Structure 1
Amino acid sequence: MIIEKIPEEFKRALPILNTLKDAGYEAYFVGGSVRDTLLGLPIHDVDIATSAYPEEVKQIFNKTVDTGIEHGTVMVLDHGEGYEITTFRTESTYQDYRRPEKVEFVRSLQEDLKRRDLTINALAMDAAGEIIDLFDGLTDLKMKVIRAVGDPNERFNEDALRMMRAVRFGSQLDFKMDSETFMAIKKNAHLLEKIAIERIHVEWVKLLLGKNPNQGIKEFLETNLYKYSPKFENKLSELKDIATMSHLIIPDEYVAWTFISYKLGYVTSNESGKLMKEWKLSNELIKHVQTALKCVEKIKRQNLQIDDYYQAGLSPLKTANIVAKLLGFGIDDALLESQYNALPIKDKAELKINGGILIKKLNIKPGPQLGKILKELEKEVVQGNLKNNEGNLIKKAQDLVSTDN
């Protein structure tokens, strides 16, 4: 098969391939970029595989960076762009179900491709656009099948993360899994415990954001991978319920974790915090999700107040409303945004007064009383009971001082 119209991303990288070929080596585009071209999807990273060894690559090109030279990868810098070039390689036994004990460089494209995870990712393309398909990946693309290269048990024992990648691609591409690959994942699911949660997290989120997350979640459950994922092992019923939801489209990671936390019953800040910390999420993401979860409950009870809009902020509010819509009780987006935009201030920094002004004009000393007054002023402005100008705020502060005394 020949790709008649080579995408621009490949055209820009053709000088790299041609330089390697002119030096007497084989060179091909490989992996996801080839797969996505055949599927008509956007291309992200253009990866190149070659028969040239790393030191030979460095001799051929003027500007290189050793990004992963121990694994055969050298980055070539060309006209402001970087291309990762990896030597054909084979890998020995895997010490931790993730990393090979030994990498051996070879001159054979076939040896290199047969160590890859899935047939649809084991495709190569030469400079003329001809597809090299040694493991029937083109048929699997056509039939929309996820299939491991060679013996799936071997592939998953080499790298247990490949099991998550298989179910993730099922969601991302809306493909069904080959039965032999499915059974091998089910048999080896326990090996997922050997993988760092950060790596599992990446695949899980990509699965949730895929074209058909129901498909991915269903296979995630049926292969028992869920049992080896933090705080999921006792949530089979809840996860099954998610897998059967109709029109399940999740736009981003904030929505993903807010939705998952809510559906699994991890609703309070304490419960959701424990879940997300076990999944090693960033503090920023955890804070956003916890705020959104509170708003989901408020939307459900039709009790979203002015103070909730102010305390949450627009981004977590939007997240909460997307989740609420997935659950069947969201509100109108335009209404939500207009309510937020109608707030007199969006942040306490917008107050026309601060502690320094109060100390100077009212002779208040720094301490709890000052903090209490500022908080009350902020609340009154947000509620619309007090105009946000210095004169009004000073007068109200004087009243509060008098009351305290």
Structure 2
Amino acid sequence: MKYPFEKALPILEEIEKAGYEAYFVGGSVRDLLLNREIGDVDIATSATPEEIKGIFSKTVDVGIAHGTVVVLYQGESYEVTTFRSESEYDDFRRPNDVTFIRSLEEDLRRRDFTMNAMAMNKDGEIIDPFDGRAALQNKVIKTVGDASERFHEDALRMMRAVRFVSQLSFAIDSETFQALKEHGKLLSFIAVERITTEFEKLLMGQDYQQAIRLLIETGMYQYLPGLTSYKEELHAFQQLQLDRSFTIEEHWVILLYHFNLPPTEVESFMRGWKQPVKKIRSVQKGLSCLYKRMNSGWGIEELYRAQIELAVSTEKLFNVLMKKDKDYGIKQLEEQWQALPIKERSELAVTGQDLMAWYEQKGGPWIEERLRQIEIAVIKREIRNGKESIREWLFECNQP
């Protein structure tokens, strides 16, 4: 049995030894069959949470009301969830009630897509009551049972469906596609943070172009924060070729560039997606730099102000927009950077204290202005980066 299932196997064996059923379930089984990297291993069992806690000495209650207990074993943690059935969903996200059951098939029946509704026993045998294996072979994303019912139970499943298109390069089956078109408005009931997580995974997927196209075709984009009026811009973005080496911040930069969004409006837009301040600032800087690059090349001062990391990122995005190889000109840009006499202000041979002593003045805004002038003179090699050279230059220029 493949790692990490092999490491988790004793959990199944202990549960079975106590007289209950236990299986590996969900995405880990799917990814095993797809020969993809396997992330967290989840376990489903006929044992109740209290029965699981009686079997293992180290457990943590994380979602015990919904049947989930974390088992701590040999330095790893495993979510063990009791087979369950669910009642009606009033908020399009969570069931009103959960009933613990003893049937694996009934537990798998409540899951989102057939490819995620498979289980594997300790001998590596696949239990597949809803033809999930066939869906994998046919590269199709299909809901378990009626698509409209599944999406009414949990509207986030619609975003998950499109995200899987991006990550797996699968297609959506016709019934599921129709339900996406009909029920996109249910996304308005889902917490923005959850939508953002799915959308960013979608952007980072290998086939994000197809996923964006689906958001447009189904109309789902209208129910995503701030995207309602950007149909044509999304279509243009969808035609770009961004490989997986680009960061999520870079995806946001080039997306907002297509929206022609001024850097001053980035914060308001991204707060609508509940983004952290650090990421917002990064995207603002990236977008501002990209706009400048679209209008001019890299002068010495522009490169110095941007710093090399942002400059390289901007140049790669510029190349994508110009339909060039993303690494075109990067080596020359890095060489230009290395040739700079200084890379940042802290490398200047003088400080604000020196200026106050030379001019016999108190501190104030004038120091910032003077240091900026010195920086530019140094990087343009108008003066050498030495204390005496800078002092002579300042007084020769009759700087007040």
- TM-score category, normalised to shorter length: over 0.9
Q: Give the residue type in structure 1 aligned to 2:313.
A: T
Alignment of 1:7-156 (within 5 A): 7-156=2-151
- Answer yes or no: is the 8 Å Cα contact 1:307–1:382 preserved in 2: yes
Give the secondary structure class of the aligned counterpart of 1:67.
strand
Identify the residue that residue 295 of structure 2 maps to in structure 1. Answer: 301
Give the secondary structure class of the aligned counterpart of 1:239.
helix
Q: Distance in 1 between matches of 2:99 and 2:392?
A: 78
Give the secondary structure class of the aligned counterpart of 1:148.
coil
* CA drift at 1:45: 1.1
Alignment of 1:279-358 (within 5 A): 279-328=273-322, 331-358=328-355
Q: Give the residue type in structure 2 aligned to 1:309.
A: L
- Answer yes or no: is the 8 Å Cα contact 2:85–2:98 preserved in 1: yes
Q: 1:277 to 1:386 in 2, by over 3 A?
A: farther
Q: Distance in 2 between matches of 1:181 and 1:234?
A: 25
- Answer yes or no: is the 8 Å Cα contact 1:119–1:137 preserved in 2: yes
Post-superposition Cα deviations, 1:78-120, rounded to whole Å, max 9, x if no partner, equal 2211112122222222232112222222222122211111111
Post-superposition Cα deviations, 1:293-312, rounded to whole Å, max 9, x if no partner, equal 23323333342222222222
The reply to whether residue 207 of structure 1 matches residue 202 of structure 2 is yes
Identify the residue that residue 376 of structure 1 maps to in structure 2. Answer: 373
Report the count of equivalent residues. 396
The reply to whether residue 403 of structure 1 matches residue 399 of structure 2 is yes
- Answer yes or no: is the 8 Å Cα contact 1:90–1:103 preserved in 2: yes
- Answer yes or no: is the 8 Å Cα contact 2:143–2:150 preserved in 1: yes
- TM-score w.r.t. the length of structure 1 is 0.91
* CA drift at 1:141: 0.3
Q: Distance in 1 between matches of 2:282 and 2:188?
A: 28
Identify the residue that residue 156 of structure 2 maps to in structure 1. Answer: 161
Q: Distance in 2 between matches of 1:363 and 1:281?
A: 47
Give the secondary structure class of the aligned counterpart of 1:42.
coil
Q: Distance in 2 between matches of 1:260 and 1:81?
A: 39
Q: Distance in 2 between matches of 1:165 and 1:214?
A: 16
Greater alpha carbon shift after TM alignment, 289-298 vs 157-166: 289-298
Q: Distance in 2 between matches of 1:93 and 1:84?
A: 24
Alignment of 1:193-272 (within 5 A): 193-243=188-238, 245=239, 247-250=241-244, 251-266=246-261, 268-272=262-266
Percent identical among aligned pairs is 45
* CA drift at 1:283: 2.0
* CA drift at 1:359: 4.0
Q: Distance in 2 between matches of 1:282 and 1:318?
A: 23
Identify the residue that residue 392 of structure 1 maps to in structure 2. Answer: 389
Provide the alpha-carbon RMSD of the alignment: 2.1
* CA drift at 1:357: 4.3
Q: Distance in 1 between matches of 2:367 and 2:249?
A: 36
Give the secondary structure class of the aligned counterpart of 1:107.
coil
Q: 1:341 to 1:99 in 2, by over 3 A?
A: farther
Q: Distance in 1 between matches of 2:251 and 2:207?
A: 14
Identify the residue that residue 3 of structure 1 maps to in structure 2. Answer: none
Q: Distance in 1 between matches of 2:209 and 2:283?
A: 22
Give the secondary structure class of the aligned counterpart of 1:66.
strand
Q: Mind listing any 5+ residue stretches in structure 1 that lack a counterpart?
A: 1-5
Q: 1:120 to 1:378 in 2, by over 3 A?
A: same
Q: Mind listing any 5+ residue stretches in structure 2 that lack a counterpart?
A: none
The reply to whether residue 185 of structure 1 matches residue 175 of structure 2 is no
Q: 1:386 to 1:138 in 2, by over 3 A?
A: same
- TM-score w.r.t. the length of structure 2 is 0.92
* CA drift at 1:394: 4.3
Q: Distance in 2 between matches of 1:334 and 1:137?
A: 47
Q: Distance in 1 between matches of 2:232 and 2:368?
A: 47
